[in-house]
Structure 1
Amino acid sequence: MYSFLLVIIYMAFISLGLPDSLVGSAWPVMHTELNVPVSYAGMITMVIAAGTVVSSLLSDRLTKKLGAGLVTAVSVLMTAVALFGFSVSGSFLLLCLWAVPYGLGAGAVDAALNNYVALHYASRHMSWLHCFWGLGAAASPYIMRYCLTGGYGWHSGYRAVSIIQFVLTAGLFISLPLWKQANREKGDGARNAAAVKEEKRISENPSSGKTLSLLQTIRLKGVPLVMAAFFSYCAVEQTMMLWASSYMVQVRGMDVNLAAGYSSLFFFGITFGRFLGGFAADWLGDRGLIRIGIATIVVGLILVAAPVKTNMLVLAGLVVIGFGCAPVYPAIIHATPYNFGRENSQAVIGVQMASAYIGTTFMPPLFGVLASITNISSLPFYILILTVLLLVMSEKLNRTVDRRRNR
């Protein structure tokens, strides 16, 4: 039963990634047809981000009331409806309105699915599931490009992805009995002795299933640390995605078209790294994955910043940074039940997701401001500062958790 449900969850993670690249891939055409400046894409992404933050913070209450399966199904339905709304919109204002359910659906399903997998499946599955998210995120630009080059227009691109989301929504609603049955069965044997001990503690504590408020969640020991760590990591990832191409053009003198293509090497590193990392995840453990990932990011930054004439080191550095980023996000999520208790994991993952969206929304533009004052060549040093913050917060969290669990 767990194996069949896992297939459904893998498909759901692909659907999570599908909408993420659509705005960016279609915007060069969209802004012209809508007669708005290029910069207006930021307004749409801000609305989406606001929705994801709100729904992430509400995910604990929603999941405990409705269940992870129903929250996932309804959330994917919301994104499907929102994408269809994008496909029939003829004005920028309508896009902003449809961005609201888009963000609300994305945030809720992200938090609910990540928590469910963290509770019920091994670390390797968390890594592979986020690899499947990468497949979805990589596929949507190709769908949009096919629609644009075929003369169907950007509306058809959104409509095609919305149809895929509607099909998945139907599958999720059909699978709802599986979620309930799986909750009554034992998992795939991947939980360690500490997790089993934690489950016993929860079963002996009748108040452990209560819903935590936002303030109560943040007051849990270690939560501000994991929020800062997650904020830092997601800022690293999104800043690299946004500025790698510009760095190669302005600092390394690459052709614009070549740089745009080579910037995907970072994304390739993340996706392929998560696939490979899944095979070692259970052996290395979440903490080991995070530490190795951080060290690998630093090595990649050294390659990118190396003052040599050849561009091969820069390209290799992008792949290495991607490999370093690959295990960090899944490992932080998967460690949440262990770090904060299974009864608190949904609430904590909700605030982690909120801090992640804040990091991805504000830190890449902040670098743009700094680059306009200094120089875009400072990108590796900006990423290094965020990576050091990630390391410091992560290690402080480990010490906090160890002290709590050893008392």
Structure 2
Amino acid sequence: MSGRFSTPPQRAILIGLGVFVLLGLTDGAIGTVWPDLRDDFGRTDGSFGQVFACLSGGYLIASVASGHLSERFGMTAVFRVGSTLAALAFGIIGLGSSWATTLVGFALLGLGNGTLDSAVNAWIAVKRRQREMGLLHGFYGVGASAGPLVAAAFVAGGDQWGVPFWIFAVLQAGIVVASPLAREGFDDTPDAPDVEATRGRAVEASSYLLALVLGWFFLYVGVEVSTGQWSFTLLSEARGTDEMLASVFVASYWVGLTVGRFLLAFGGDRVAPEVIMSWASALAAVAAATFASDLGGLGGFALPLLGFAFSVMFPVVVNRTPIYLGADRAARIVGYQLATSSAGAIIVPALLRPLA
């Protein structure tokens, strides 16, 4: 292999980006295929809770375990296991043989995706720079944006909700086959220079700081998901905004998230992470206040700014984990961060639902 991705670390980054596109495709497609999947099995919308429980339960377990497994068996081994589980899960879901096996497929998908999400985030945080972390999450946004379109192309043509999952299975299997090309990149790449200095260092007040960081991830991801989940209802029903305009406002929120992450990828290394977080926090406070107060009926216009402000927060904090909490346990802590993020994405929107 020659060109830009000729070295093992570059190949590892390329494969990691492919994984995050697939993570986004999955998250974006599930909601689109649900009505057809539901009807095929004679279920009601209440049954989506079972799907969500299997998916998020597997994800939580895998996120917590991923860091420990990476430390013991190496990144490549964990990556292969996660990719294999995800490919198998896509195939099981795509078969659609029964409701029970479909739920098993979603549980396996949660295990596979949770393993991959945690492992790749941790590897980027320890081995690479802020640029790659922004790129990683930007590509997730691309996948999440494309997922509904890919699924809709088959759902609209008839009862073919399983086809997108077969496509995802083939793509995931390709990643499994390609993973040996990234073995040296995953396992032998030296730490980033500022991370290397933390090796073996005892981090002062680490337990207290860890608790604060995990609490932040719970709240931040909960608010990020809640904003995307409930803004349409708030705008269209509580504020009387035209439904088409409300959908444009919500879409602009996700566009802001994706654009901001790509800007972080291509310009983030020029600005200190702490400065980026300060600017983003200030912008988020102003945008959130504007959206909540709806001054002059301009609340909806604040959503793309809020998405843009939110965009850098998750990748920047994950990327600084080895610096503030030590590289020796960064893989484990990133797993904990993603697990608490998942919990926040489940609990906070449910708590905020009455406000919508």
With over 3 angstroms needed to count, the CA separation of the structure-2 counterparts of 1:309 and 1:36, relative to structure 1, is farther
Letter in 1 for 2:346: T
2:50 to 27, 43, 49: 43
The runs of 4+ residues in structure 1 deviating greater than 4 Å are: none
TM-score, normalisation: structure 1: 0.80
> Counterpart of 1:319?
304
Q: Deviations over 1:70-103 (max 9, x none)?
A: 2122212211211111111144332222121111
Asked whether the equivalents of residues 122 and 191 of structure 1 are also in contact (C-alpha less than 8 Å), the reply is no
Shift of 1:152: 5.5
Asked whether the equivalents of residues 140 and 161 of structure 1 are also in contact (C-alpha less than 8 Å), the reply is no
1:366 aligns with 2:351: yes
2:229 to 231, 236, 242: 242
With over 3 angstroms needed to count, the CA separation of the structure-2 counterparts of 1:262 and 1:162, relative to structure 1, is farther
Q: Deviations over 1:284-313 (max 9, x none)?
A: 323222222222222222232344564xx3
Q: Deviations over 1:1-36 (max 9, x none)?
A: 223332222222212222112221211222222221
User: SS of the residue aligned with 1:254?
Assistant: coil
1:83 to 87, 90, 94: 90
1:191 aligns with 2:198: no
Asked whether the equivalents of residues 20 and 139 of structure 2 are also in contact (C-alpha less than 8 Å), the reply is yes
Matching of residues 58-77 of structure 1 within 5 Å: 58-77=65-84
2:327 to 334, 342, 349: 342
Asked whether the equivalents of residues 11 and 182 of structure 2 are also in contact (C-alpha less than 8 Å), the reply is no
> Counterpart of 2:120?
113
Tell me, in whole angstroms, the C-alpha distance in 1 between the residues paired with 2:131 and 2:39: 44
1:231 aligns with 2:227: no
Tell me, in whole angstroms, the C-alpha distance in 2 between the residues paired with 1:13 and 1:307: 35
1:302 to 280, 289, 293: 289
1:124 aligns with 2:150: no
Tell me, in whole angstroms, the C-alpha distance in 1 between the residues paired with 2:177 and 2:159: 26
Asked whether the equivalents of residues 63 and 114 of structure 2 are also in contact (C-alpha less than 8 Å), the reply is yes
Shift of 1:137: 1.4
**How many percent of aligned residue pairs carry the same amino acid?**
23
Asked whether the equivalents of residues 121 and 191 of structure 1 are also in contact (C-alpha less than 8 Å), the reply is no
Asked whether the equivalents of residues 130 and 269 of structure 2 are also in contact (C-alpha less than 8 Å), the reply is yes
Letter in 1 for 2:350: P
Tell me, in whole angstroms, the C-alpha distance in 1 between the residues paired with 2:206 and 2:42: 47
Tell me, in whole angstroms, the C-alpha distance in 1 between the residues paired with 2:220 and 2:238: 24
2:273 to 286, 296, 300: 286
Tell me, in whole angstroms, the C-alpha distance in 1 between the residues paired with 2:244 and 2:54: 30
Q: Which has the higher contact order (CA 8 A, sep 6+)?
A: 2
2:259 to 272, 287, 295: 272
> Counterpart of 2:103?
96
Tell me, in whole angstroms, the C-alpha distance in 1 between the residues paired with 2:251 and 2:22: 20
Shift of 1:106: 1.1
With over 3 angstroms needed to count, the CA separation of the structure-2 counterparts of 1:155 and 1:257, relative to structure 1, is farther
How many correspondences in the alignment?
348
> Counterpart of 1:395?
none
TM-score, normalisation: structure 2: 0.90
Asked whether the equivalents of residues 303 and 317 of structure 1 are also in contact (C-alpha less than 8 Å), the reply is yes
Q: Deviations over 1:306-325 (max 9, x none)?
A: 44564xx3332110110011
Asked whether the equivalents of residues 293 and 327 of structure 1 are also in contact (C-alpha less than 8 Å), the reply is yes
> Counterpart of 1:394?
none
Asked whether the equivalents of residues 123 and 282 of structure 1 are also in contact (C-alpha less than 8 Å), the reply is yes
Asked whether the equivalents of residues 277 and 313 of structure 2 are also in contact (C-alpha less than 8 Å), the reply is yes
Tell me, in whole angstroms, the C-alpha distance in 1 between the residues paired with 2:320 and 2:206: 18
Tell me, in whole angstroms, the C-alpha distance in 1 between the residues paired with 2:123 and 2:295: 46
Q: Deviations over 1:162-193 (max 9, x none)?
A: 2222222221244324434x43xx56xx633x
Mean CA deviation greater in 23-32 or 329-338: 23-32
1:166 aligns with 2:173: yes
Instruction: State the Cα RMSD in Å.
Output: 2.3
Shift of 1:243: 0.6
Mean CA deviation greater in 56-65 or 289-298: 289-298
With over 3 angstroms needed to count, the CA separation of the structure-2 counterparts of 1:224 and 1:5, relative to structure 1, is same
User: SS of the residue aligned with 2:193?
Assistant: coil
Q: Deviations over 1:40-82 (max 9, x none)?
A: 2122112211111111111122101221122122212211211
> Counterpart of 1:403?
none
> Counterpart of 1:354?
339
Q: Deviations over 1:108-136 (max 9, x none)?
A: 11111111001111111111110011111
1:138 aligns with 2:145: yes
Runs of 5+ consecutive residues of structure 1 not aligned to the other structure: 209-217, 377-407
Tell me, in whole angstroms, the C-alpha distance in 2 between the residues paired with 1:346 and 1:338: 12
Tell me, in whole angstroms, the C-alpha distance in 1 between the residues paired with 2:243 and 2:87: 34
Letter in 2 for 1:229: W
Mean CA deviation greater in 235-244 or 271-280: 271-280
Letter in 2 for 1:86: I
Tell me, in whole angstroms, the C-alpha distance in 2 between the residues paired with 1:18 and 1:165: 11
Letter in 1 for 2:151: M
